[in-house]
């Protein structure tokens, strides 16, 4: 009877350990999927940021290349005073 109880205890411990290992493997698999998804998001965002930076550089170049005479002149408080001053 004592031998049977020891075998049952050992079997229970092994089953518990096996269940814990399975749980850990499932958790690890979910974490791997999450990391892959996050990596995809980061890659896409990095690509978008680089595209936006290039577009912003082009806009700056266009603004720098414009003549102030052909566009709207910047507002100057002293030059645009009303006549009653």
How far, in Å, CA of 36 to CA of 46, rounded? 15
In order along its 85 residues, the chain shows pLDDT tens digits of 566 677 888 899 999 999 999 999 999 999 999 999 999 999 999 999 999 999 999 998 888 887 656 556 666 666 666 666 5
CB 82 within 8 A of CB 76: no
Please check whether residue 74 is in contact with residue 68, taking contact to mean a CB–CB distance below 8 angstroms.
Answer: yes
pTM of the model: 0.56
pLDDT on residue 72: 61
Residue 52 has a pLDDT of 96
Q: What is the pLDDT of residue 75?
A: 63
- Give the torsion through C-alpha atoms of 57, 59, 65, 68, to 10 deg: -140
């Amino acid at each position: 009877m004592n031998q049977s109880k020891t075998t049952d205890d050992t079997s229970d411990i092994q089953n518990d350990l096996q269940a814990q290992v399975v749980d850990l493997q499932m958790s690890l698999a979910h974490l791997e999927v999450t990391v892959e998804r996050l990596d995809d998001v980061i890659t896409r965002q990095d690509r978008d940021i680089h595209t936006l930076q290039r577009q912003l550089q082009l806009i700056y170049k266009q603004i720098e290349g414009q003549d102030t005479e052909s566009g709207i002149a910047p507002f100057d408080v002293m030059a645009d005073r009303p006549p009653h001053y």
